[in-house]
Amino acid sequence: MKELVLLLEKRRIFTMVIVVVLAILAVLISLSFTITPTTYFEGQYNQAFIYGLIVYKLIELPILYYLLLFRHIKAIKSNVYSDVFLIKLKKHIKLLFFLIPQGNTIFGIIAFKLSGNVTYFLLFSAIALITIFLIKPNKLDV
């Protein structure tokens, strides 16, 4: 179990680094290029769509956390696990640490394009960093 926790802790740090690098890259792009907001429907629904993306992401992340990690922690604490369970757990946590940066980056790019403001991309990056920071693989080591 300790090997799994160490592997997941390394993956957690790696995903944090990826999110920070993407945020820095977004800032550099915004400084180098002028991104104009999209003009679909004269741009009147852009802000509403961005706020919808933020709300969706804030609802989705706890659900992902519960489905891919929290329910497994409950099983580990009750000592009901096997080798097959540990393989499944490792796969789910890897998936969680992939989906968080990937989803927030895509939503950040969409918000960046809709608004022309890098602040929204940085907001989604911050949401990803906070979420990854709050997920602690050490909870698995019982």
- Token reading at 101: 């940066």
Looking at residue 37, the DSSP 8-state letter turns out to be P
Buried b (16+ CB within 10 A) or exposed e, 30-52: beeeebeeeeeeeeeebeeebee
- pLDDT tens across 80-108, in order? 667 788 888 889 888 999 999 999 999 99
Mean pLDDT across 99-123: 94
pLDDT digits (tens, 9 = 90+) for 8-43: 899 999 999 999 999 999 999 999 998 888 888 787
Per-residue pLDDT tens digits for 63-86: 999 988 888 877 777 776 677 888
Residues in the chain: 142
| Domain edges within the chain | 2-36+52-140
Q: At what angle do helices 83-115 and 118-134 cross, to 10 degrees?
A: 160
Kindly indicate the confidence band of residue 1, based on its pLDDT and cuts at 50, 70 and 90: confident
